[in-house]
Homo-oligomer: A and B are copies of this chain.
Amino acid sequence: MDGFRELTIGEVARRAGVATSSIRCYERIGLLPQPERTHGQRRYGTEVLGKLGFIGVAQSAGFKLREIKELIDGVDSADGMGEQMRSLSSRKLEEVEALLERTKAMKGWLETAKQCGCASPTECALFPVPGEEAADADWSLRVVQVKGDDCRRPPAA
């Protein structure tokens, strides 16, 4: 059913929803294996679609291609989906959880900004001004503190 390996790069690109140039690029950097060839042209089996799908998901979650390569290599080479896979996933999970938090913070900021009625950044809590001593102001955390739909800066008490 899928041992035919008869898909051309163009067909793979169409079905996976990526550009042929991306596929060749992935091959170049070792993300995809060298496929078999007919008349010099790449021939793929359908399993490459799964791999491309995985690459897409991982990418959209913020993995770099190098990291995706690590993941794929771990799965392909080691003892099945062994320790390598699990430890990589554990490590990545922490990063993804951090990304999740940051993304939630951004969402909050944008929701406030969407309905902000402030006349200028000077009066708006979305745009804080650091104190004299603030050497390492943590802007992203300050922004998270903006809640509700009133983003006016509290009158500096």
Chain A residues in the interface with B (C-beta under 8 A): 2, 14-17, 46-47, 49-51, 53-54, 56-58, 60-63, 75-76, 80-81, 85-86, 89-90, 92-93, 96-97, 99-100, 102-107, 109-111, 113-116, 118-121, 124, 126-130, 132, 134-137, 139-140, 142-143
Establish whether residues B114 and A58, one from each chain, have CB atoms under 8 Å apart when the complex forms. Answer: no
**Please, which residues of chain B bring their CB within 8 A of the CB of A56?**
139-140
On whether A100 and B100 interact (CB within 8 A), knowing A49-B129, A85-B116, A110-B93, the answer reads yes
Establish whether residues B62 and A134, one from each chain, have CB atoms under 8 Å apart when the complex forms. Answer: no
- Oligomeric state, in copies: 2
**Please, which residues of chain B bring their CB within 8 A of the CB of A86?**
113-116
Establish whether residues B61 and A15, one from each chain, have CB atoms under 8 Å apart when the complex forms. Answer: no
Establish whether residues B54 and A119, one from each chain, have CB atoms under 8 Å apart when the complex forms. Answer: no
Establish whether residues B139 and A75, one from each chain, have CB atoms under 8 Å apart when the complex forms. Answer: no
**Could you say which of B2, B89, B127, B139 contacts A113, with CB atoms under 8 Å apart?**
B89
Establish whether residues B118 and A15, one from each chain, have CB atoms under 8 Å apart when the complex forms. Answer: no
Establish whether residues B139 and A106, one from each chain, have CB atoms under 8 Å apart when the complex forms. Answer: no
On whether A53 and B128 interact (CB within 8 A), knowing A61-B103, A62-B106, A114-B90, the answer reads yes
